[in-house]
Amino acid sequence: MTHPRSEDPADTPWRRRLHTIVFEADTPAGRAFDMALLALIVLSLLVVSLETIPSLSEPTRLWLRVLEWVLTVIFTAEYVLRLMVVRRALVYAGSFYGVVDLLAILPTWVSLVFPGAQALLAIRVLRLLRIFRVFKLARYLSEARLIGDALRASSRKIAVFMFTVSTIVVVVGALMYLIEGPSNGFTSIPVSMYWAVVTLTTVGYGDISPKTGLGQAVASLVMILGYGIIAVPTGIVTAEFANAGRKLEDHHINTQVCAHCGADDHRSDSHFCRHCGTALH
Amino acid sequence: MTHPRSEDPADTPWRRRLHTIVFEADTPAGRAFDMALLALIVLSLLVVSLETIPSLSEPTRLWLRVLEWVLTVIFTAEYVLRLMVVRRALVYAGSFYGVVDLLAILPTWVSLVFPGAQALLAIRVLRLLRIFRVFKLARYLSEARLIGDALRASSRKIAVFMFTVSTIVVVVGALMYLIEGPSNGFTSIPVSMYWAVVTLTTVGYGDISPKTGLGQAVASLVMILGYGIIAVPTGIVTAEFANAGRKLEDHHINTQVCAHCGADDHRSDSHFCRHCGTALH
Amino acid sequence: MTHPRSEDPADTPWRRRLHTIVFEADTPAGRAFDMALLALIVLSLLVVSLETIPSLSEPTRLWLRVLEWVLTVIFTAEYVLRLMVVRRALVYAGSFYGVVDLLAILPTWVSLVFPGAQALLAIRVLRLLRIFRVFKLARYLSEARLIGDALRASSRKIAVFMFTVSTIVVVVGALMYLIEGPSNGFTSIPVSMYWAVVTLTTVGYGDISPKTGLGQAVASLVMILGYGIIAVPTGIVTAEFANAGRKLEDHHINTQVCAHCGADDHRSDSHFCRHCGTALH
Amino acid sequence: MTHPRSEDPADTPWRRRLHTIVFEADTPAGRAFDMALLALIVLSLLVVSLETIPSLSEPTRLWLRVLEWVLTVIFTAEYVLRLMVVRRALVYAGSFYGVVDLLAILPTWVSLVFPGAQALLAIRVLRLLRIFRVFKLARYLSEARLIGDALRASSRKIAVFMFTVSTIVVVVGALMYLIEGPSNGFTSIPVSMYWAVVTLTTVGYGDISPKTGLGQAVASLVMILGYGIIAVPTGIVTAEFANAGRKLEDHHINTQVCAHCGADDHRSDSHFCRHCGTALH
């Protein structure tokens, strides 16, 4: 059995070794790399969030800014390393993790030009998805897949349900605008529809609330309606879960990433990449 | 096999052709007609909602008003066309879509006399139900039917539940009126019942909230009760869904509409209207 | 076949006839009597609620007061009639409907001495339970029984759940009192526990809300906890419903009431009272 | 059959008798002891909570303080008694009930040094768990175990769900901070994340709410999302309950506690401690 692609001349030993460390978590070195990376990601999230607190002292703020730049430089170096190590750089750059890795460093660089862009750094949280790979939480991934399957199977029912809810929101919004009017906080139909969503979902901020007797009566009906229809998506998803639970076969997935195309989620008994056919070690 | 009704002398070729374009979405022309119509409906909904925003500049407002009249004239022309094309105009006028089509244009005309009537234009959203026909989303309709069936099957249980909730609302409303009194915002028993609904459904605006110790204790019990009984409708509907899911046969429905009586939801293997027996093409 | 009890000397024909009219709804006269009674009950509920609205004009208020007294006199007459017509007055007086009928008239009479007692008239709503008898909604009663059975079967699980929730409320209440303190609205542990209930049940009035960073962090955890445990009672009741639904035998119950002891809910195929053995007509 | 451990020289008759009274509830004396203890625990909880109400008169406050110290001395005596009576004091001290018993008395003693510590007395509520032993509510314990099993079985799915919710909270928090900004109450990303939790869980205090049109639109989407994902944990737990309900074997558990190691939850047909092998009476 020959695996022509692994004979690629660019596939030098040090590159394969770096690939194992940077992209996988099955070796001690690879795991240490990913653990350090995760710690830095959590640290960077903390820095980004804390930086927005207005009551910070000026020195604290400076320290946080310095930390953020240090972390961004590290993440940029890591991104460049990944591009160099993987055999098909463009495939990685276009993959989910590749895009996330780029988005995680872009805002700080952009903030040199547009100051507000830093808040977007919160998307770094998506990088935490790597945690699943590190802790070999492959089982969790199959659970996530189970939830996803259940939601997908009931997506058509949910679409019909969402359409019904949207219709109720528009009709109730227009009705309450007529009943309460701008003087009671229902300043326009869009605002009135926002109130309808706040009420139907039982969030109930109270920033806008009916003042007239008729408005309160209609609002009561809307609330009871909302209370009743909360049962519908629950019923749909529960029935689907009961089905999915029966069908689930325990997928055994490991943390290897193909050195050729960057595909992951390989089953433990796979010998070749399920995507491009390259041999897995 | 003879289909006497399709020999109707009024059933001229151009009328049949117009019927196919206006009422159905199985031909390219019919689909184009419906897509354009849908775009206009969405546009009109946007116009109606935006018009109520108070901070609009006078020129913007004028533009929106003009747009609304243009759209209303188009929808009126479409309604008249439908009445002429269908063989039994009265059956169409009395059908669900017929009533909706009329209600969608009426408010603008009425607003010439009563200015406030425009807000009712929001019922135009119901016209969006045509979207199901256009995208051949016949499957979605059978999902809607499944949800409807589950709700209908559990309607008696839901009625008993609603009656129980109503009783709790009246009793708690009267009780809190006695405990808190008008000085704490519970100005009358109807207002107190409105508070009870807001609390039981876990909406909780906070426009009225108990101030006395006893009132807060009773409110806590009501909340826990509301928290508990939210489980009842969910349980009812879920059990029904699990049943309905098992019974569901996949209905195959197409987008044809009977040229004689306007009935739709025909199964793909139907050759005659399930309502009046006219042959379908 | 002899029915010794129906030979009771006090069981004169006019009394039996009145019993059929007053207590049952199977004859035209009995149904007319109950329909009129229901209309009066709904009217009296409306009167009692409207009377508490502060913005009423003095003449309206007087009219409502007069109406209330007229209705109370009618209900009192009806109560006395029932006591005379039924063979065992004390058994009726002690039954559920007997107690409700008495409670429905007592507050107005008591209000001659204590003015505030009128608000208690709202318990008249319980009299509406007669509606089930009038409309022969015997099926609904078996649905109510199904819901009751499901709740009873899961009562032990619900008790454990309630105990857990109470413990969380006390612990979180004490904790937030320590964190936020009286200056942020958490004036005492009982008030803090009230806040915990408002938060855990996702009602969220907003009359008390955490102001400090630590308080908001703890509150966030409590909310997510509350969001998670809302699933527990739902799961319990749903599982029970699924079971109960399978077991349900369709009970066929009619609206007769025993002339001897006042027991109701007789099955259609019963010839004797299930409680005292008196023959049913 | 010999039980060497019960020949322990330290196991004198009075000690065995005291053990039966203090630790078990199967004899009249043991039950009386536990009932008195429970009454004192409830009393102490009431005292601790009431003490924090600011509007108390000085004499009432003094009375409550005295009562608290009396109760603490009693509970301390009880704790020492338990330590002396049980054969392995350290095993008891390290067990769940042992730790709770200690935590219940510690805060009052600590409050001699740090005044605020008293509020922690609310953890005395955990001592109420003894109620299950007293009322022989062994069945309830098996129900609690059922709920626990169902939650444990779905813990991986719940972890994935929680991770998804956390990600949404961070992303939405950062987004709303950018849209609304500090001038509309979204003073920092952590505060914005607190708002996201309040909204996603449908609590909705209203202390922070979107003011701009774009903010209200995004908030509406978040609410509908929250409304939808409330279905997921419910579905997970319900499906698990349906499974667990089928598997449940009715455990028959009595209230004996091992005199040697303090283990409880022994099945009725056990003759030896399931933990250390000591014979049970």
Tell me the per-residue pLDDT of C33-50, one tens digit each, with 9 for 90 and over: 887 887 888 788 888 888
Q: What is the DSSP letter of A280?
A: P
Residue D277 lies in a domain: no
* Terminal C-alpha separation, chain D: 15
Q: What is the pLDDT of residue A33?
A: 84
Residue C90 shares a structural domain with residue C210: no
Residue A130 lies in a domain: yes
Q: What is the pLDDT of residue D266?
A: 56
Closest CA to D191 of A119, C128, B267: A119
Tell me, yes or no, if the pTM score tops 0.95: no
**What is the nearest CA distance from A79 to chain D, expressed in angstroms?**
22
Task: Give the ranges where chain C is alpha helix by DSSP (H).
Answer: 13-23, 28-50, 58-85, 89-94, 96-110, 130-134, 138-153, 155-180, 189-200, 213-229, 231-247
Q: What is the DSSP letter of C279?
A: B
Residue C242 shares a structural domain with residue C178: yes
Band the pLDDT of A252: cuts 50, 70, 90.
very low
d(CA C131, CA A10): 85
* Subunits close to D (at least 3 CB pairs below 8 A): A, B, C
Residue C33 shares a structural domain with residue C74: yes
Mean of pLDDT over chain C: 76
d(CA C208, CA C180): 11
- Which of residues B120 and D189 earns the better pLDDT score? D189
Structure tokens at B160: 């008993």
Largest Cα span, chain C: 81
Nearest residue of A to residue D197 by CA position? A203
Whether the CB-CB separation of D43 and D71 falls below 8 Å is answered with yes
Q: Residue A109 contacts by C-beta under 8 Å, 6 or more apart in sequence?
A: A72, A76
Whether the CB-CB separation of A157 and A263 falls below 8 Å is answered with no
Q: Which amino acid is at B234?
A: T
Residue C76 shares a structural domain with residue C184: no
Picking from B204, B234, B238, the nearest residue to D204 by CB comes out as: B204
pLDDT above 70 coverage of chain A, percent: 71
Q: What is the pLDDT of residue C12?
A: 76
Which of B27-41, C139-153, D189-203 has the highest average model confidence (pLDDT)?
A: D189-203
Q: The domain that contains A181 carries what CATH number?
A: 1.10.287.70
Residue A66 shares a structural domain with residue A123: yes
Band the pLDDT of B217: cuts 50, 70, 90.
very high
Residue A27 lies in a domain: yes
Q: What is the mean pLDDT of the segment spanning B134-162?
A: 69
Mean of pLDDT over chain A: 76
Backbone angles phi, psi at C279, to 5 degrees: -70, 140
- Which of residues D222 and D163 earns the better pLDDT score? D222
**What is the nearest CA distance from D162 to chain A, expressed in angstroms?**
11
Does ipTM top 0.90? no
Q: What is the mean pLDDT of the segment spanning C59-82?
A: 89
Q: What is the pLDDT of residue C167?
A: 78
Residue D265 lies in a domain: no
Q: What is the mean pLDDT of the segment spanning B151-159?
A: 76
Q: What is the pLDDT of residue D5?
A: 45
How confident is the model over C4-22, as pLDDT tens digits?
444 455 567 777 888 887 7
Residue D44 shares a structural domain with residue D162: no
Residue D69 lies in a domain: yes
How confident is the model over D213-256, as pLDDT tens digits?
999 999 999 998 887 777 787 888 787 777 665 554 334 455 56
Q: What is the mean pLDDT of the segment spanning A71-84?
A: 88
Structure tokens at C134: 């009038």
- Which of residues B56 and A216 earns the better pLDDT score? A216
Q: What is the pLDDT of residue C194?
A: 94
* Subunits close to B (at least 3 CB pairs below 8 A): A, C, D
Residue B84 lies in a domain: yes
- Which of residues B160 and C141 earns the better pLDDT score? B160
- Flag whether pLDDT at D187 surpasses 60: yes
How confident is the model over B218-262, as pLDDT tens digits?
999 999 888 777 778 788 878 777 766 554 433 445 556 666 666
Residue D230 shares a structural domain with residue D129: no
Range of the domain at C229: 153-251
Contacts C–D by Cβ distance under 8 A: 130
- Which of residues D168 and A2 earns the better pLDDT score? D168
A233-237, B52-56, B165-169, C249-253: least confident range: C249-253
Residue A20 shares a structural domain with residue A127: yes
Residue D131 shares a structural domain with residue D210: no
- Flag whether pLDDT at D3 surpasses 50: no
- Which of residues B163 and D264 earns the better pLDDT score? B163
Picking from B206, B234, B238, the nearest residue to D206 by CB comes out as: B206
Q: What is the mean pLDDT of the segment spanning A182-198?
A: 91
Q: What is the mean pLDDT of the segment spanning A28-50?
A: 82
d(CA D51, CA D115): 13
Domain finish residue from A106, A141, A176: A141
- Share in percent of chain B as helix, strand, coil (round to 5): 70, 0, 30
Residue B266 lies in a domain: no
Residue C7 lies in a domain: no
Q: Which residues of A touch C238 (CB under 8 A)?
A: 238
Q: What is the pLDDT of residue A134?
A: 56
A121-130, B216-225, D178-187: least confident range: A121-130
The verdict on A60 touching D (C-beta cutoff 8 Å) is no
Q: What is the pLDDT of residue C3?
A: 45
Q: What is the pLDDT of residue B84?
A: 86
How many other β-carbons are positioned within 10 Å of the β-carbon of residue C178?
A: 18
Distances (CA, A) of B170 to B214, B270, C123, C127, C221: 18, 52, 8, 13, 34
Q: What is the mean pLDDT of the segment spanning C150-177?
A: 80
Q: The domain that contains B111 carries what CATH number?
A: 1.20.120.350
Say how many domains are in chain A.
2
Question: If DSSP codes are grouped into helix, strand and coil, which group holds residue C138?
Answer: helix
Residue C32 shares a structural domain with residue C125: yes
Q: What is the pLDDT of residue D56?
A: 84
Nearest residue of B to residue C129 by CA position? B163
Residue C98 shares a structural domain with residue C216: no
Whether the CB-CB separation of C194 and B219 falls below 8 Å is answered with yes
Nearest residue of D to residue A243 by CA position? D239
Which of C46, C232, C238, C243 has the most A C-beta neighbours within 10 Å, making it the best mutation to test the interface with A?
C238
- Flag whether pLDDT at D54 surpasses 70: yes
Residue C130 shares a structural domain with residue C187: no
